[in-house]
Structure 1
Amino acid sequence: MPQPLNSKEQALFRLVVRSYEDKQYKKGVKTADQILKKFPKHGDTMAMKALILNAQGRTEEAFALGKEALTADMKSHVCWHVYGLLYRAAKNFEEASKAYKFALKLEPESAQIQRDLAVLQVQMRDYPGYIQSRRAMLQARPQIRQNWTALSIAYHLDGNLTEAEKVLSAYEGTLKQTPSRLDLEHSESVMYKNSLIAEQGDYQRALDHLEDAAKYNLDRLAVMEARAEYLQKLGKNEEAAKAYRALLDRNPDHQAYYEKLTQALGISDDDVKARKAIYDEYAAKFPRCDAARRLPLDFLSGDDFEEAAESYLTLMLNKGVPSTFANLKHLYSDDFKKEVLPELAENYLESQGADASSKDKGEAAALYFLAQHYNYRLSRDLDQADEYVNKAIEKDPKSVDYNMTKARILKHRGDIKKAAEAMDYARTLDLRDRYINSKAAKYHLRNNDNDKALKTVGLFTRADTVGGPLVDLLDMQCVWFLTEDGEAYARRGNIGLALKRLQAVANIFDVWQEDQFDFHTFSLRKGQIRAYVDMIRWEDHIRDHPFYSRAALAAIEIYLDLAAKPAENGVNGEDTDEALAKKKAAKKAKKEQQRLEREAAEKQAKQDPNKASSSQTDEVKKKDDDPLGLKLAATEDPLGDAVKLLAPLLQVCPKSLEAQHAGFEVYLLRGKYILALRCLRAAIEIDPSSPKVHEQTIAFRNALNHATDLPAKVLEVLKEEFKAIEPSEDLKKVNDAFQAKHKSSPPHQLAALRVQHILGEDKPRTNKEILALLELPEIEFAHALEALELLQKWRSSETETFRKAAIVKWPQVTRLE
């Protein structure tokens, strides 16, 4: 039985709740202790104290006290609600949901518990449960519009568009008068209902609804776009054309409007002349419009293309537009256009040189265009690029753009050190430009100069941030810097800090996913329904972002290395010299961390006492107990850590070849043959000619041939599903045939050599064949770097010989040194 409180203690209990809400945690704990001193088994007070302890970061104590509160009063909805909040804070949503439901059984009328449960259900994508919760909330308070809207959204997300529309119509039927035209929430609701009708494919009804209910909607652009789309889908092409012309008059640089207009006018893709006439019309109507002049270059060919390209290029170069090449480089997938564009630029350059009156007007811009052309991967000639960029710099030595391109050319030559210096010089030409500052920092990281990169990027972070620029970059969720920083540390062999940065990127994506919690209620309160639904759908694919996959794959590669060479003498599989060097580096980094902490403490001590601080609200800032990543590097289960990053990657990026390759490596090392085979089959489907596919196919057959402890059912499945190489085939002969077939391809040759190593073939022979790769005519320094890394991994005696030979071949490539 719960202990009843007298009036004095009830007032104290209300003070505990208020202290928690105001984040005055010390006061809350002190007040709760006052109550518990007199009523030691009062469950609600114990629960509130547990909630405050959790907010202070004392999670274990909070859970222990929360369980004790439940023991004291199993029938208290407060205790169960708090227990759910504790699990939610620990990201155990399943248990939190169970606790909320139990609390709701005890107190069915509690709006707060119902709201918390609903938010948790939509976060977990439990749409049937969300519908049930929202229906209950609507029945409890039908006078609030957002309860109707939320139920409609719940049906929509669950795929029941008809019911979603019915809910909104039912609410409209309850209105005694039409809301004001300036009512934003009503305006959004009308457009949301219109989108529901359209999603059902009933475009005529959607158009009628648009013409009626949304005629004076506040979002005029959305109304115009929807109307044009519906007219076109209904085959009313003449009206659709008028609608798209109205949109083009509003925004003549919107590419999609031109495409839709040509479709509405019934112009086929083959009728180039008619399509060009549309763009010419708007180019004449809007002289400053870029799209009308640039977009025809995508579909024109032959003399028509040459004429239009010359006109466009001349206009852009006369203006000196730096982004001219960036606007046109997508055309380089067409060989004809790739040849014509530099010729036109050369002709322009000659005309500028011949015309004394227009000297230097666009000459520098043309030189810059040609420098970018020859630096581009599809038309690369770095000597030519260097020549043109130097001429452009002579024309304008203080141009940030020209000096940036100079740095890029050096990077493509492999001279990362000089590239970083050149980019840093470009940065000094405009110290107020954040973009060039970021590029300079990025190049320092590519040069493995992490400290200089942090110092550079720190010029644009907040100077008063406790902990320095890195803490500010973490607060700002600067994903690109953390990724590049982690990769640089990985190249330097500092596994701890590499994992620290890469895991920080993964944590940022977790935060982005958790940030939805704030918007489940905020978006409804503000009436931003369409944006909210778009956000939910975006969040469902958040981890297919390139930065997540890049950071995850880099971290997985490190974990695979850790798993392949387990700790020796307390160090992650390193030689004694390497271990000593890294211990020194860790010691140095620790001293630097202590210095930063001292500086932060001094800064805090000097802080203005009149300035608001977190101490006034007892907010707890989490302290990083592993600033150097030493605990991450000392993991006892590297493959388990790799799987945590790999699982979402395979789920959202099933077509990523790199993700499937990484999945195969991880699962094979874990002995999960069926999962490894699934990744291998996916990789074969994506790109059967990939060198890595050949390597992993043989590795899988070799692993099966030597597996002795596989269950009979697993063997049966594998035998049925894996038929790429039969058990009776000689793997060495298969690999030799592959090597002979691709004798001129460095990536395929490297794959074959890795297979030789897997099969345990003669190591001296393999090492010599790697040396012979340098003689291949198609080899590039990137392949040489990969081969060098392979020799280092194998601890080959030929490593230095290969390095010296590669340096002779590519003396400018700094990473070979």
Structure 2
Amino acid sequence: MPQALSAKEQSLFRTVVRNYEDKQYKKGIKAADQILKKNPKHGDTLAMKALIMNSQGKTEEAFALAKVALQCDMKSHVCWHVYGLLWRAVKNFEEAIKAYKFALRLEPDSAQIQRDLALLQVQMRDYQGYLTSRKSMLQSKSHVRQSWTALAVAHHLNGELAEAEGVLTTYEETLKNPPSRTDFENSEALMYKNSIIAEQGDYQKALDHLESACKHTLDRLAVLEARATYLTKLGKKEEATKAYRALIERNSELKKYYDGLIEAMGIDAADHEAMKAVYDEYAEKYPRNDAARRLPLDFLESDDFRETADLYIHRMLDKGVPSTFANLKHLYSSPLKRETLPALVQKYIDSGKSEANEEPKRNGDTSKGASAAYYFLAQHYNYYLSRDLDKAMEFIEKAIELEPKSVDFHMTKARIWKHYGDTNKASEIMEQARALDTRDRHINTKAAKYKLRNNETDDALKTMGMFTRAETVGGPLADLHDMQCVWFLTEDGQSYARQGNIGLALKRFTSIYNIFDVWQEDQFDFHSFSLRKGQMRAYVEMIRWEDQLREHPFYTRAALSAINVYLKMHDKPSNTNGTAEGEEDAAERKKAAKKARKEAQKAEREALAKKNEPNKATKEGDNDPKKKDDDPDGSKLAATTEPVNDAMKFLTPLLQFSPKSIDAQIAGFEVYIRRRKYLLALRCLLAASALDKDNSKVHSQTIRFKLALDRDLASLDPKAAAVIKSEFTLIPSGTSLTQFNNAYLSAHKDWARRTLASLSSRKLLADSLAPSADADVVAVLKLDSVTLEEAAEGLELLKSWKSGEIEAFRKAAAAKWPKATVFAATS
């Protein structure tokens, strides 16, 4: 048992707690030491000292001291609470929950411990535990609305919608006086309750509640949208039609309002004339409206489409709207519309309309319509479904001739060069576009992106530095990290990967992984904040979004890039610097590492100078130590001896949250097959095959899996082998791998990437009777459908074989894509 404190020491202990809360850590440590001098085994004081030390960055010492505190007083709720806080600080929420539960058993009436436990439970999605905690908290604070609302949310998240509605209703019945109409919390609570009723599918009840309880709700737009939806669901066409018309009056550019109106009116999707009449009505009513004129193009066909598109294109080109093509390119999935749109634009040019429009002139330009039309055609021929880069370049040059200072035109010219395969020229032109408007952040980021694609990492960072904070310690890169600029970090990492700088590449991808962790952890504060503000609808939406956070394309792209780097490290072991290439690449990496170390040292010096700046008042809490980066150049990441195991960190969330991504399943197979986890590899292979059985990589992986299985079957566990034999049915029974591969090649001989996969598999099978795959790879260039990217893959394939056909392939590809630098002769 702990020693009892005297009145003076009890007062001193309260001072320790107050110093911790006020972030006066040195004073807190001093006061704690005074108590411990006379009572060295006082657990609560030891615990508070540990908490203060943790705030000073002494995490290991804090944990050691907290364990001593527990040994001194195992039955102190303060010691267990502090122990939980320490675990929470290092993001180990499972251990923190265990500690809080111990503390709660010792002090069941502690509101603070109960609240901390509840927040961790919802963070870890332990909805049943969260529900139990909220019930207990309601009993102690039944007079507070937040307690009732929090319990309703707990029921809602746990899937108990009726109970959630009942809790909110019970609280409403306890109110003696109706809340003020301007009470935001009450307004949000009513709308939240209405959303729960609707989520149960009882739209009539939801409508009745909306029209009675929510008629004075502050969020009027949400009420109008919900009412229109409920009326439509209930088949009340006339009222639903009026409701959607009222919404269109508020915002005539929102597509979902038009869709709702058409549905409410009961217009069949095949009745194009009736649908068009609805849009025409609003196009006439709102002369400046774009949506009512553009949306009919989605469903109109033949002459009706041509007539409507002609009017729309003329209107947009007369105004010189740069986004005209962007508004219409989704129509290119229809071959008829893909042919019609450029013909209408060409007709516009030929008719002379482009030179004689009555719209206001831009910057004194008398040929705005012509330049807009040329710009449209340039984008049309640059688009992947209608690509003709020579024509695209011809039209963009005409547009630039008319408007030489247009940023948009120069950007498109850079994109054309990118599609030509000349990243250097593309970067150069994009830099010219940036110079035309140095105050535009968008073009600045575009220029930086193109520099990264051209492996100009230093110049790209300087370009981004024009819009970062100059005072940030660590320079532009540190500020981009602080701003969580994921796109830049991804492109930067991919650029370093192409250059062979594995360390910095992995450093960038790991930074992105950590940013997603931060986004996951950032929700913690909103569990209590949303309750205080009463914004329950937004809170539940945030919880559901966070549950699918790593489905985001940003994470997928970075994770796949990192996995690819790790796989290459495994397949071609590198030296201690992470290099696997020649001396020149090693020298480049060494130079980059030296530069990174210098930048880190400079940042430290700046931080120290700032901290020691004289005559500057600082608070004690402001001097909290920041975590130092002990691997600025990523050399520790590159020095890993188990790259495939490290890849699992990126792969696991990818497979968990993006099971429908074929790229994720393909990456999963590559990792598991190298780890000899054949059941897991088969699961990924079957999932990928279900998504696209004709995919080139799925075909190659099927053959590789069969070869690996034949090699290692005897060493597998009998039960695992039996499961694999029963589930692996991708290769028909009685068919040899050669026959399977030849059948695939025959079926997909007009597909370049699939042909390359078959030829690669032929090489792998080492069939002595089969013709040489090398010459067939060169023959792939004769296919009409082959793309620049596929040709580049073919060249890499020949290089991996160290084939004698490399030069022949390069010359043939260079003749087909003369501007592509990837096929340029090496000196």
Q: Does the TM-score normalized on the shorter chain lie above 0.5? A: yes
C-alpha deviation, 1:304, in angstroms: 1.1
Give a deviation string over 1:759-778, Cα, whole Å, max 9, x none: 35679944444344344443
SS of the residue 1:316 aligns to: helix
Q: Partner letter of residue 595 of structure 2?
A: A
Q: Distance in 2 between matches of 1:390 and 1:251?
A: 38
2:671 is the counterpart of 1:666: yes
Contact 2:354/2:367 (<8 A) preserved: no
User: 1:25 maps to what in 2?
Assistant: 25
Q: Given the alignment, which residue of 755, 759, 763 partners 2:761?
A: 755
Give a deviation string over 1:215-241, Cα, whole Å, max 9, x none: 111000011111111111111110110
Deviates more, 1:788-797 or 1:244-253: 788-797
C-alpha deviation, 1:793, in angstroms: 4.3
Change (3 A) 1:466 1:816: farther
Give a deviation string over 1:192-251, Cα, whole Å, max 9, x none: 111111111111111111111111110000111111111111111101101111111111
User: 2:750 maps to what in 1?
Assistant: 744
Change (3 A) 1:278 1:612: farther
C-alpha deviation, 1:781, in angstroms: 2.2
C-alpha deviation, 1:597, in angstroms: 2.7
Q: Distance in 1 between matches of 2:220 and 2:257?
A: 16
Deviates more, 1:200-209 or 1:1-10: 1-10
2:567 is the counterpart of 1:536: no
C-alpha deviation, 1:578, in angstroms: 5.4
Change (3 A) 1:573 1:318: closer
User: 1:642 maps to what in 2?
Assistant: 647
Structure 1: which 5+ runs fail to align? none
Contact 1:23/1:618 (<8 A) preserved: no
Change (3 A) 1:811 1:25: farther
C-alpha deviation, 1:67, in angstroms: 1.4
Q: Given the alignment, which residue of 554, 561, 579 partners 1:554?
A: 561
User: 1:119 maps to what in 2?
Assistant: 119
Q: Distance in 2 between matches of 1:655 and 1:280?
A: 40
Deviates more, 1:764-773 or 1:555-564: 764-773
Identity %: 61
C-alpha deviation, 1:709, in angstroms: 1.3
C-alpha deviation, 1:2, in angstroms: 1.3
User: 2:39 maps to what in 1?
Assistant: 39
User: 1:711 maps to what in 2?
Assistant: 717
C-alpha deviation, 1:780, in angstroms: 2.5
Q: Distance in 2 between matches of 1:464 and 1:405?
A: 34
Contact 2:35/2:45 (<8 A) preserved: yes
2:671 is the counterpart of 1:689: no
SS of the residue 2:438 aligns to: coil
C-alpha deviation, 1:589, in angstroms: 2.7
Deviates more, 1:738-747 or 1:628-637: 738-747
Give a deviation string over 1:540-593, Cα, whole Å, max 9, x none: 11111111000000001111111223345x354624525633553344434542
Structure 1 residues 160-171: aligned runs within 5 Å? 160-171=160-171
2:184 is the counterpart of 1:184: yes
Change (3 A) 1:599 1:432: farther
C-alpha deviation, 1:664, in angstroms: 0.7
Change (3 A) 1:305 1:728: closer
Q: Partner letter of residue 129 of structure 1?
A: G
Change (3 A) 1:286 1:603: farther
Deviates more, 1:617-626 or 1:706-715: 617-626
Q: Distance in 1 between matches of 2:50 and 2:809?
A: 63
Change (3 A) 1:598 1:808: farther
Change (3 A) 1:356 1:180: closer
- Count the aligned residue pairs: 815
Give a deviation string over 1:106-142, Cα, whole Å, max 9, x none: 0001111101110111111111110000000000111
Structure 1 residues 494-513: aligned runs within 5 Å? 494-513=501-520
User: 1:399 maps to what in 2?
Assistant: 406
Q: Distance in 2 between matches of 1:251 and 1:590?
A: 51
SS of the residue 2:511 aligns to: helix
Q: Partner letter of residue 689 of structure 1?
A: D
Q: Partner letter of residue 747 of structure 2?
A: K
Change (3 A) 1:500 1:177: same
Deviates more, 1:162-171 or 1:53-62: 53-62
2:157 is the counterpart of 1:149: no
Q: Distance in 2 between matches of 1:288 and 1:582?
A: 57
User: 2:363 maps to what in 1?
Assistant: none
Deviates more, 1:184-193 or 1:587-596: 587-596
User: 2:361 maps to what in 1?
Assistant: none
Structure 1 residues 72-151: aligned runs within 5 Å? 72-151=72-151
Q: Distance in 2 between matches of 1:125 and 1:805?
A: 58
Q: Distance in 2 between matches of 1:42 and 1:794?
A: 71
Change (3 A) 1:48 1:804: farther
Q: Distance in 1 between matches of 2:269 and 2:385?
A: 27
C-alpha deviation, 1:758, in angstroms: 3.6
C-alpha deviation, 1:76, in angstroms: 0.7
Structure 1 residues 400-415: aligned runs within 5 Å? 400-415=407-422
2:485 is the counterpart of 1:482: no
Q: Let me know the Cα RMSD of the aligned residues.
A: 2.2
C-alpha deviation, 1:391, in angstroms: 0.6
Q: Distance in 1 between matches of 2:800 and 2:709?
A: 24
Q: Distance in 2 between matches of 1:256 and 1:505?
A: 34
Q: Distance in 1 between matches of 2:225 and 2:305?
A: 31
Q: Distance in 1 between matches of 2:369 and 2:657?
A: 47
Q: Distance in 2 between matches of 1:333 and 1:471?
A: 43
Deviates more, 1:584-593 or 1:184-193: 584-593
Change (3 A) 1:721 1:246: same
Q: Distance in 2 between matches of 1:727 and 1:263?
A: 51
C-alpha deviation, 1:637, in angstroms: 2.2
Change (3 A) 1:55 1:377: same
Deviates more, 1:173-182 or 1:760-769: 760-769
Change (3 A) 1:649 1:137: same
Q: Distance in 1 between matches of 2:269 and 2:40?
A: 81
Q: Partner letter of residue 248 of structure 1?
A: I
Q: Distance in 1 between matches of 2:384 and 2:747?
A: 27
Change (3 A) 1:774 1:111: same
SS of the residue 1:2 aligns to: coil
Contact 2:578/2:635 (<8 A) preserved: no
Give a deviation string over 1:360-417, Cα, whole Å, max 9, x none: 1411111111111111111111111111110110111001011111111111111110
Normalising by structure 1, we get a TM-score of: 0.96
2:183 is the counterpart of 1:158: no
Structure 1 residues 226-375: aligned runs within 5 Å? 226-352=226-352, 360-375=367-382
Contact 2:579/2:586 (<8 A) preserved: no
User: 1:723 maps to what in 2?
Assistant: 729
SS of the residue 2:559 aligns to: helix
Contact 2:503/2:578 (<8 A) preserved: no
2:386 is the counterpart of 1:379: yes
2:587 is the counterpart of 1:581: yes
Q: Distance in 1 between matches of 2:651 and 2:531?
A: 34
C-alpha deviation, 1:96, in angstroms: 1.3
Deviates more, 1:529-538 or 1:585-594: 585-594
Q: Given the alignment, which residue of 627, 631, 648 partners 1:626?
A: 631
Deviates more, 1:252-261 or 1:738-747: 738-747
Contact 2:500/2:585 (<8 A) preserved: no
Q: Partner letter of residue 624 of structure 1?
A: D
Give a deviation string over 1:744-766, Cα, whole Å, max 9, x none: 32201221233234435679944
Q: Distance in 2 between matches of 1:361 and 1:769?
A: 51
SS of the residue 2:268 aligns to: coil
C-alpha deviation, 1:727, in angstroms: 7.7
User: 2:362 maps to what in 1?
Assistant: none
C-alpha deviation, 1:652, in angstroms: 1.2
Q: Distance in 2 between matches of 1:538 and 1:767?
A: 49
C-alpha deviation, 1:806, in angstroms: 3.8
Q: Distance in 2 between matches of 1:68 and 1:791?
A: 64
